Structure 1
Amino acid sequence: MFRVRRKTLSAFVFFLIGMFVFQSCIYDFYRKEFASEKKKNYELLLLALLGLMPNPNQKLFGFVPGFSRNLSDSQFVTSDIFTKTGKKKIVFIHGWNPAERDSDPVTNDEKKIQNIKNTFSNGMIHFQEGRESAKSEYDLYLYTYRTSNSILVNGRQFHSTLRSQFSDSDQVYIVAHSMGGLVTRVALAPENGFLPFVRLVVTLASPQFGSPFATPSFLNSNPFLNELGSYLVGTQGGSELSYTNQGQGQPTLSGAANQVLDALNQSYSSSGLNGRFVSFAGVMSGCDDGETVYYNAGCNILSNAGFTDSDGIVPINSARLGNLSYKQINVADCDHSMMAFQTKNVDDSKSQNLFMLVISEIRNSPY
Structure 2
Amino acid sequence: MGGIGNATATVTIRVKRFAPRPERPNRSAVTALRKPASPFGSTRKRPRGKQWSQEYTLRVHPHDTVLDCLLIIKRTLDPTLAFRYSCGHGMCGSDAVAVNGTPTLLCTARISDYAKQLPQNTQNEGFRRTATVNRSAAATRGFAASGGNVTETNTTETTEDTDANSVSATDANATVVAAEGTVAPTPLAPDLGIIELAPLPGFPVQRDLIADIDPILDQIKRLQPYLQADGKLATTREGKVDVFEYLQKPEQLAKYELLSNCIACGVCEGSCPVFAGGEAFIGPAALVMASRFLNDSRDDAAQQRLDAIDTADGIAACQSVRACGRQCPRGIDVGEEMWQLTTAVRER
- TM-score range for the pair, normalised by the shorter chain length: under 0.3
TM-score using structure 2 length: 0.28
More strand by share: 2
Larger Rg, first or second structure (1 or 2) = 2
TM-score using structure 1 length: 0.27
